[in-house]
Amino acid sequence: MKNLKFRNGDLLPILGLGTWKSGPGEVQKAVFWAIEAGYRHIDCAAVYGNEKEVGKGIAEAIEAGLVKRQDLFITSKLWNDSHRHEDVGPAIDRSLDLLNLDYLDLYLIHWPISFKHGIGFAQHREEYYTYKDVPLTQTWEAMQEQKSLGKTKHIGVSNFNQSKLKELIKMKEEVPEMNQVEMHPFLPQEALVQFCKEHEILMTAYSPLGSPDSRGEKHINDPKLLQNPVVKEIANRQGISTGQVLIAWSINRDVAVIPKSVNKNRIIENLESAQVKLTDHDLMELKDIGVSHRFVDGSFFTGSQSPYKTSDLFDQ
Ligand SMILES: NC(=O)c1ccc[n+]([C@@H]2O[C@H](COP(=O)([O-])OP(=O)(O)OC[C@H]3O[C@@H](n4cnc5c(N)ncnc54)[C@H](OP(=O)(O)O)[C@@H]3O)[C@@H](O)[C@H]2O)c1
């Protein structure tokens, strides 16, 4: 499988397993099957509430002799309620404890949004901190400290637009090594990809299949990425599935990609996308797909009670 290279030369397997919405009773098996099939990169987060089960899947695979810890690349993310300097260390310690690991390979600031400590999802104004209360630069200082303590090999961010990245770059300290954002042919993020490339920031594409299992009633009219006619036509031509077209699209752009599945056959099918060769014609058709859509629109953080605006999350 193709790897991406961090600035220090460390490698990131370009395809990993997503674990958001992977429930208890299913995620341990999913992680084990993934490692058994050949995945070496697992994407986790404190807020997914399943790090203990993910850790069990990893331990099971190591105990079965499938891999050693150092063969795996494990990412976790700092939740919005732990952005204050003093909260970052305990937050990474908790993820390490749940995952049953001595170190992470990558730790990300999950969103550029800050809640008071202990708040899972802020509903009221008083449950939020503003950028004045807790500047992102404060959180970034603490992230660098965790790296220097050896608790994570790499640090980065998620859901950061260009202006938020520039705030951290201006500190003249360590530049984030990764920016994980939503990315697929409906949201190719060309300008952000270019900006990150210029600053040697690797990128990971989340919700590469359009996150169909997070779309409730409210989103019934969202366009369907896996059923898009252009994607379907390429899949038919190549003799592969639409999911494989979408995963191969990210790999082709040198962007890491983390499709989520708890289904053994789909876990294997998704891994096989790493072998798919899209033609220039396929790529041109995907570029001209004619649909523009963001599935994870951040609206849960930008309601009337929130001090944050959509422009704090996404480039307009
Ligand atoms: N940093 C962030 O803020 C952020 C936000 C969103 C997501 N993420 C990360 O990115 C990962 C992926 O994104 P996501 O979970 O939103 O959605 P996704 O990977 O785009 O889609 C997952 C859905 O697609 C189904 N699926 C998987 N493989 C398939 C295939 N080959 N054909 C058809 N359906 C398939 C899954 O069902 P089954 O499980 O039943 O197979 C599940 O319903 C997350 O799990 C998480 O790790 C990060």
Strands 114-115 and 128-129: antiparallel
Which of 95, 184, 206 gets mutated to test ligand 1 (max ligand atoms within 8 A of its CB)? 206
- Mean pLDDT calculated for residue range 305-313: 94
**Mean pLDDT taken over the chain:** 97
- Average pLDDT for residues 234-254, to the nearest whole number? 98
Ligand 1 pocket residues where CB is under 6 Å:
18-21, 43, 110, 158-159, 180, 206-214, 226, 241, 243, 258-263, 266, 269-270, 296
217: pLDDT confidence band, cut at 50, 70 and 90?
A: confident
Residue 65 has, within 13 A of its CA and on its CB side, a CA count of 0
Closest Cα to atom 30 of ligand 1: 243
Q: What is the mean pLDDT of residues 223-229?
A: 97
Does this model's pTM top 0.95? My answer is yes
Could you tell me if 70 and 42 are in contact, meaning their C-beta atoms sit under 8 angstroms apart?
Answer: no
276 pLDDT higher than 80 = yes
Q: What percent of the chain lies above the pLDDT cut of 70?
A: 100
User: 271 alpha carbon to ligand 1 midpoint, in Å?
Assistant: 13
Q: By three-state DSSP, how is residue 184 classified?
A: strand
- What separation in Å is there between the alpha carbon of 61 and the centre of ligand 1? 22
> pLDDT of 281-296, one tens digit each?
999 999 999 999 999 9
Ligand 1 atom nearest to CA at 247: 31
CA of 23 to the centre of ligand 1 (A): 13
Region 187-199: what's the mean pLDDT? 98
Mean pLDDT over 77-105 rounds to 98
Q: What's the pLDDT score for residue 301?
A: 93
Quickly tell me which residue has 């500190």 as its tokens: 171
Integer Cα distance of 104 and 92 in angstroms? 9
Work out the pLDDT band at 72, boundaries 50, 70, 90. Answer: very high
**282 Cα–ligand 1 center, Å:** 23
Q: Is the pLDDT of residue 216 over 90?
A: no
DSSP 8-class letter at 212: G
Catalytic residue among 39, 48, 128, 206: 48
**Is residue 34 scored above 90 in pLDDT?**
yes
pLDDT of residue 255: 98
Q: Mention every residue, 6+ apart, whose C-beta is less than 8 A from residue 90.
A: 82
Q: Is the pLDDT of residue 219 over 90?
A: no
Q: Is the pLDDT of residue 220 over 90?
A: no
Ligand 1 centroid from CA 278, angstroms = 21
- Report residue 215's pLDDT band, with 50, 70 and 90 as the boundaries: confident
What 3-state class would DSSP assign to 72? coil
Among the atoms of ligand 1, which is closest to the Cα of residue 209?
20
210 CA: nearest ligand 1 atom? 20
What number does the ligand 1 atom closest to the CA of 267 have?
28
User: Is 48 noted as a catalytic residue in this protein?
Assistant: yes
Q: Do residues 273 and 15 lie in contact, with contact meaning Cβ atoms separated by under 8 Å? A: yes
Flag whether pLDDT at 316 surpasses 80: no
Tell me the domains of the chain and their CATH numbers.
3-216+250-276+293-312 (3.20.20.100)
What value does the mean pLDDT take over residues 6-21? 98
